[in-house]
Amino acid sequence: MRAARLYAARDIRIGDLDRDGALQPGHSRVRVTAVGLCGSDLHWFTEGAIGDAVLAQPLVLGHELAGVVVEGPLAGSTVGIDPAIPCGHCAVCARAQEHLCPTGRFAGHSTTDGGLREEMIWPSELLHPLPAGYDAARATLLEPLGVAVHAVDLAHLRPGSTVAVVGCGPIGLLLIQLAARVAATVIAVEPLAHRREAALRSGAHLAVHPDELAAGSGTGTGTGNSSAAAACLDDCAAVFEVSGADAGLATAGHLARPGGRVLLVGIPDADSTSFSASLFRRKGLTMAAVRRMTADAYARGIALALAGSVDVTWLTSHRFALADAAEAFTVASQRSGLKVVVDVS
């Protein structure tokens, strides 16, 4: 079968890959239809690593997955695919924290091939049925939506609060949609103009360039109650830092109110980050790191998308064929659009 594999930083090659072997009990064979490119995939592409994980062998990337089951109990079904395989028997899994399993496997990470291949065998319990013919590009957005749902869980959002999202890529935009369902005011901070516009479309009351915050103008470009939002720029009960940059974390610290929460969603380029300890200490801020998603967060995200409560229909800006996967990664790394999707079959 055809597959796109990463051999080194910025070295994606299309070639033949042996199909997975015989189907084992509890597993299904899935024809992959589409894969969304995530920010973590871009770390692999640009650095040949992510955090402390370094490329050790050619790797098939891709964990935002959609497919059709061709063999197994759900044969014929369109499915979203949970990319995380926990061990299921360690103490962490026993605490219902499978997303934190220290020995779990994850599609497109380390030595576990992901979805940029025509077919894969995956545990049947990690396949989530979708309506027949559900658009594959939309289906790839269900995994990042699950991550956003998990982040909102960790934020402990309360009705009527003020929330900020720093970094408005696809996950940031999904967070804005989710936050807008609860919070009275949602502030978006993003340097790219087209993503600020997308933030407003997602429901942000104010979208500002980080330089505007540094200058203390607090005006930005907004709709609705944007004036009221501008008055809340240092009174956010929760701030989602999605950029992965130290500057973004500094912005999050300034936006958070005393006693607020800062959610670390973005992944830094290097395996470290820094922030002003005095600012965070004086404000008594709580920081929470967002690690992937819980299984129920994925299921809840799917339910929200199918009900139309979260709109994933417009977030895909580019689609490429599998043969053009290298170009897809290059375009995604330029951040000139929103979600980049590779149509595998």
What's residue 269's pLDDT?
Answer: 79
Options 3.40.50.720, 3.60.15.10, 1.20.1300.10, 3.20.20.70; which CATH number does 145-289 get? 3.40.50.720
Q: Nearest-CA neighbor of 67 among 174, 142, 173?
A: 142
- What span, in angstroms and rounded, lies between the C-alpha atoms of 335 and 234? 28
| Angstrom distances, CA of residue 116 to CA of 9, 33, 83, 266, 307 | 17, 9, 13, 23, 28
C-alpha 47/C-alpha 166 separation (Å) is 23
Q: How far is the C-alpha of 177 from the C-alpha of 227, rounded, in Å? A: 20
Domain 2-141+315-343 and domain 145-289 have a common topology: no
Per-residue pLDDT tens over the stretch 298-309: 999 999 999 999
Is this model's pTM higher than 0.95 or not?
no
Q: What is the pLDDT of residue 228?
A: 54
* Residue 221: predicted pLDDT: 52
Beta pairing partners, 13 = 5
pLDDT in tens, 289-344: 999 998 899 999 999 999 999 999 999 999 999 999 999 999 999 999 999 999 99
Q: How far apart are CA 204 and CA 226, in angstroms?
A: 9
**φ, ψ dihedrals at 43, nearest 5°:** -60, -45
Q: Which amino acid is it at 244?
A: G
Q: For residue 342, give the nearest of 326, 323, 327, 321 by alpha carbon.
A: 321
- Distance, C-alpha 143 to centroid of its chain: 7
Q: Is 262 helix (H, G, I), strand (E, B) or coil?
A: strand
- In the three-class reduction of DSSP (H, G, I as helix; E, B as strand; rest coil), residue 206 is classed as strand
Sign, CA dihedral 212-237-203-301, equals positive
Q: How many CA atoms lie within 13 A of 54 on its CB side?
A: 4
Kindly provide the residue ranges of all beta strands, DSSP E only, lying in the chain, ordered along the sequence: 2-8, 11-16, 27-36, 49-50, 53-54, 64-71, 78-81, 84-85, 105-106, 119-123, 127-130, 162-166, 185-189, 206-208, 221-222, 236-241, 256-264, 286-289, 316-321, 339-343
Q: Which two tokens stand for residue 296?
A: 């129920």
Considering only CA atoms, which of 34, 33, 31, 51 is closest in space to residue 43? Answer: 51
Q: Quick one: CATH architecture of 2-141+315-343?
A: Alpha-Beta Complex (3.90)
Position 30: which residue type?
V
- Side-chain-side CA neighbours of 23 within 13 Å: the count stands at 18
CB 262 within 8 A of CB 256: yes
Angle at the Cα of 223 from the Cα atoms of 220 and 227, rounded to 5 degrees:
60
Helix (H, G, I), strand (E, B), or coil: what is residue 256?
strand
Looking at residue 229, what is its pLDDT? 58
Among 326, 325, 329, 327, residue whose Cα is nearest residue 343: 325
Beta bridge partners of 262: 239, 287
Strand partners, 8: 11
Q: Collapse the DSSP code of 210 into the 3-class scheme (helix H, G, I; strand E, B; otherwise coil) and give the result.
A: helix
User: Which regions of the chain are under pLDDT 50?
Assistant: 217-220, 223-224
Pairing state between β 256-264 and 236-241: parallel
Spatial separation of the C-alpha atoms in residues 222 and 220, rounded to whole Å: 6
Q: Where are the domains of the chain?
A: 2-141+315-343, 145-289
